[in-house]
Amino acid sequence: MNIEIKRIIRYYESRNASNIYSYFNINNLFMIHSRERKLMSLLLKNGLTDLSNKTILDIGCGSGGMLRNFIQYGAAPLNLYGIDLIEERIKKAREISPNINYIEGDASKLPYKCNFFDIISQYTVFTSIKDKETKQNIAKEMLRVLKTSGVIVWYDMKILNPFNKNIKSISKNEIREMFPGCECLFYSVTFNPIISRRLAKISVLFSHFIENLKVFNSHYFVVIRKKIS
């Protein structure tokens, strides 16, 4: 295990000790609902309304929340796959959803055959990686296991907390460079948590209004497709 992988594991194990990801954290719940509405809009726009036969991989799956959402959207559990670095997260994911294919592992060395997945998702994985080569290797693996007609759904930060030294921003150009020969469509989403952590407690409705202005949004949804020549 290289130094970068060890650093990422330490960082996320420390974050798991807080309630930052709790559904009882109103800011986190606000972000989840906003993100889910946008995801459903993007799936609809890309003709992905019937997920019953789609093979889906979630990179950095954590305890499996994103994959369980895909079941609600119509995907079959046996067609769902998740990979995460942290043993405790995978253990919890298997306890909750034993019918989903979870593995503990490094996404720069995916144990899946080429052209296998219809959809690959990643949520805030790449900004957690500071080493450029590691990011490039994961991107290459994602493209390798993605079908020619497949879609990568990317959700990550474009504006970072300047006090958090464990994450590194990624520009549009860097994303395009990591996925050569692909079409990348960018959507500005998620009211900056630094502000919304305070505002959502006061007014969720006003937080939605600000988010729709996009001026203070901190994340991108990116739909990535291979260009078919």
**CA-CA distance, 152 to 163, in Å (whole number)?**
30
Q: Tens digits of per-residue pLDDT, 105-130?
A: 999 999 999 999 999 999 989 988 88
Strands 146-157 and 217-226: antiparallel
- Per the confidence metrics, is the pTM higher than 0.95? no
Greatest mean pLDDT among 15-24, 76-85, 155-164, 196-205 lies in 76-85
- Which DSSP category does 19 fall into? S
Q: Is residue 219 within 8 Å of 169, Cβ to Cβ? A: no
**Residue 126: CATH number of its domain:** 3.40.50.150
For the chain, what percent of residues have pLDDT higher than 90?
Answer: 57
Q: Which domain holds residue 173?
A: 3-226
Q: What is the mean pLDDT of residues 35-54?
A: 93
- C-alpha pair distances (Å), 123 with each of 59, 61, 210, 222: 8, 8, 22, 11
Q: Is 199 helix (H, G, I), strand (E, B) or coil?
A: helix
Total domains present in the chain = 1
